[in-house]
Amino acid sequence: MPLSSELFANAAAAVAAAEAILITAGAGMGVDSGLPDFRGPEGFWRAYPPYRTLGLRFEQLANPAWFARDPELAWGFYGHRLNLYRNTLPHEGFAVLREWAATRDAFVFTSNVDGHFEKAGFDADRIYACHGSIHHLQCARPCCGDIWRADGMNVVVDDETGLAVGGLPICPSCGGVARPNILMFGDYSFLESRAEDAGRRYQRWLTSVAGKRVVVIECGAGLAVPTVRMESERIAKRLSGTLIRINVRDPDVPAGHVYIPLGAAEAISEIRNNLSLLQG
């Protein structure tokens, strides 16, 4: 059944009136860029067949213990993801959001670790990646509080076994195995300083836009890990803003807000078309 044009018109009107935009994004944001959907073990194993044989699910592999127990397995998983995120271009919806952000006071809050908002041209100082970034590394122990960029670091992964082959990323301070600066499951060694700095910038921004007309545009944030959905609703309520929730599977919104049950790229494109009609 075709979606009501009123949904897109309401979303476009909210964007047109906005003086500030908070863009929030979960894993579904990257699906239209060609990134895999890890929803459920079957979705994960379709993307990573070797781990089906081992009987390992996403939440089991995304655990810092593997960097001590089996670093080749740990870096097989994260090395593949790093290579994938480096080689994938953000979809057109990112560029549209960046255009809207360029003429308004804007910030990004995301649980994604792929770095695609920065890759799409958003100001790195206006992005709060609350779970860290795969493009930054830290010591797996950790021996110190250093966090450094993964630029120039390459991990070769055997597609048949899912294991890293050759040299692994190492900590320049102690020579031990390094790991991505990402918050994993059961993670007590994640170095939080970089994310905390971004979080403080985000809180200052929230304070600065109080009293402005705010729209929260949420893309692809599911219920399994509801961090982004909860933040979107919290900020829309706190700042008396409008929430536009873009989500194929879980589009429900609190009363008075806007839902669009489509993928991010298609939904953003339709909102842009309606915005053009509003602006004449």
pLDDT digits (tens, 9 = 90+) for 158-190: 999 999 998 999 999 999 999 999 999 999 999
- The token duo for 164 is 């890293």
Percent of the chain with pLDDT over 90: 84
Distance CA 71, CA 76 (A): 8
Mean pLDDT for all residues in the chain: 94
**What's the average model confidence in pLDDT over 213-229?**
94
**What are the two backbone dihedrals, phi and then psi, of residue 9, each rounded to the nearest 5 degrees?**
-65, -40
Strand partners for 162:
none
**What are the two backbone dihedrals, phi and then psi, of residue 258, each rounded to the nearest 5 degrees?**
-115, 135
For 141-159, give one letter per residue: b (16+ CB within 10 A) or e: bbeeebbbebeebebebee
**What's the average model confidence in pLDDT over 195-215?**
98
Question: With 90 as the cut, is the pLDDT of residue 278 above it?
Answer: no
pLDDT score of 194 = 98
Question: With 80 as the cut, is the pLDDT of residue 4 above it?
Answer: no
For 91-114, the pLDDT digits (tens) are: 999 999 999 999 999 999 999 999
pLDDT score of 173 = 98
Question: With 50 as the cut, is the pLDDT of residue 8 above it?
Answer: yes
Reported confidence tier of residue 2, pLDDT bands at 50, 70, 90: low
**What's the average model confidence in pLDDT over 75-93?**
96
Regarding predicted confidence, which is higher, 2 or 136?
136
Question: With 50 as the cut, is the pLDDT of residue 1 above it?
Answer: no
Question: With 80 as the cut, is the pLDDT of residue 17 above it?
Answer: yes
Question: With 90 as the cut, is the pLDDT of residue 239 above it?
Answer: yes
Q: Is 45 helix (H, G, I), strand (E, B) or coil?
A: helix
- The token duo for 20 is 């500030």
Question: With 90 as the cut, is the pLDDT of residue 233 above it?
Answer: yes
**What's the average model confidence in pLDDT over 203-214?**
98
Percent of the chain with pLDDT over 70: 98
pLDDT score of 213 = 97
Reported confidence tier of residue 41, pLDDT bands at 50, 70, 90: low
Regarding predicted confidence, which is higher, 21 or 42?
21
pLDDT score of 48 = 86
pLDDT score of 39 = 67
Residues with Cβ within 8 Å of 222's Cβ and at least 6 positions away in sequence, in order, are 26, 27, 28, 39, 229, 247, 249, 250
**What's the average model confidence in pLDDT over 72-89?**
96
Catalytic residues: 131
In terms of Cα–Cα distance, which of 65, 61, 69, 54 is closest to 160? 54
In terms of Cα–Cα distance, which of 21, 1, 3, 24 is closest to 267? 3
pLDDT score of 45 = 81
Domains and CATH numbers, the chain: 5-279 (3.40.50.1220)
Q: Are 33 and 90 in contact (CB under 8 A)?
A: yes
HSE, CB side, 13 Å, CA atoms: give it for residue 255. Answer: 0
- What is residue 64's DSSP assignment? T
Strand residue runs (E) in the chain:
20-25, 105-110, 127-129, 132-139, 147-149, 156-157, 164-165, 178-182, 214-219, 242-246, 258-260
Q: How many other CB atoms sit within 10 Å of the CB of residue 272?
A: 19
